[in-house]
Structure 1
């Protein structure tokens, strides 16, 4: 697990959001409502899909804590928002970017290892900003050959890859 640490510029997204928890995970329904309507979004930057999680202010991981999930596309401007969709701004900042490969069956373990193993060993602190996955051209739903990028917001700190190698 070797992420790239980047300074991400602000991102403008348009999409559909839904409140849920890990106990009441409705991500399938979210994407089913978004995918047939994605062509309605104007000023798209690329066809890459954004799967975003926006946590409440004092978020802590617990299966029953409610957060917002988004299915969205990046846009260059908010000139027209389709009815039933919303805009979301992901503030710029530092992110650890991980590449996830696989059919998704071990995604929960992958995320857990980021938060419980990689971040502590690298002396990095998670920051409560939107975290997201970018499902680009290499993404193939439920395929073992699928690939996506996972963006985890981190605080400025004394990061060093030497601490984890």
Structure 2
């Protein structure tokens, strides 16, 4: 599984977030609250859903544990922040380079891929993680709890 890299301009998102850890994963709860309301966001750029993780700015990625608290977002990319629906928030992903992996398989079985990215690919690459949000793009081929599902995994990187 080899990624391609891409430098992106800032992305504007509108959505909802919750604090959680891997041990206390509330992703299902977050998405059950967001998905029925996503149509309220009038200026979405596409039908893609963004699942984003925001870590503390001073976090050393080697120190992440099952109990590391982070923000998890369910959001869509928008062209501006006007007319936010009640209970939704704005977030801007800053400009930067990302390594983009295509993941095919049941989203619940992502663990080995995560392990490969951070423990095999990244150490052997010319990159290191950058302190910006990590996110997944859940496009038209994404199917929750389906082995035929596809999603893009975006890891923020910079040259070592």
Per-residue deviation at 1:68?
A: 0.0
1:82 partnered with 2:88? no
Per-residue deviation at 1:9?
A: 1.4
**Tell me, which stretches of 5 or more residues in structure 2 are unaligned?**
none
- For normalisation by structure 1, the TM-score amounts to 0.92
Whole-Å Cα distance in 1 between the matches of residues 149 and 79 of structure 2?
27
Whole-Å Cα distance in 2 between the matches of residues 8 and 111 of structure 1?
22
1:26 partnered with 2:26? yes
Whole-Å Cα distance in 2 between the matches of residues 112 and 123 of structure 1?
18
Indicate the residue corresponding to 1:97 in structure 2: 100
Whole-Å Cα distance in 2 between the matches of residues 39 and 104 of structure 1?
23
Indicate the residue corresponding to 1:72 in structure 2: 75
Preserved contact between residue 16 and residue 85 of structure 1 (Cα < 8 Å): yes
Q: Which moved more, 1:29-38 or 1:119-128?
A: 119-128
Q: RMSD over aligned Cα, in angstroms?
A: 1.0
**Tell me, which stretches of 5 or more residues in structure 1 are unaligned?**
158-165
Whole-Å Cα distance in 2 between the matches of residues 101 and 145 of structure 1?
7
- For normalisation by structure 2, the TM-score amounts to 0.95
Number of residue pairs the alignment of both structures matches: 157
Preserved contact between residue 41 and residue 82 of structure 1 (Cα < 8 Å): yes
> After superposition, what is the alpha-carbon deviation per residue over 1:146-165, rounded to whole angstroms, capped at 9, x for unaligned?
100000000134xxxxxxxx
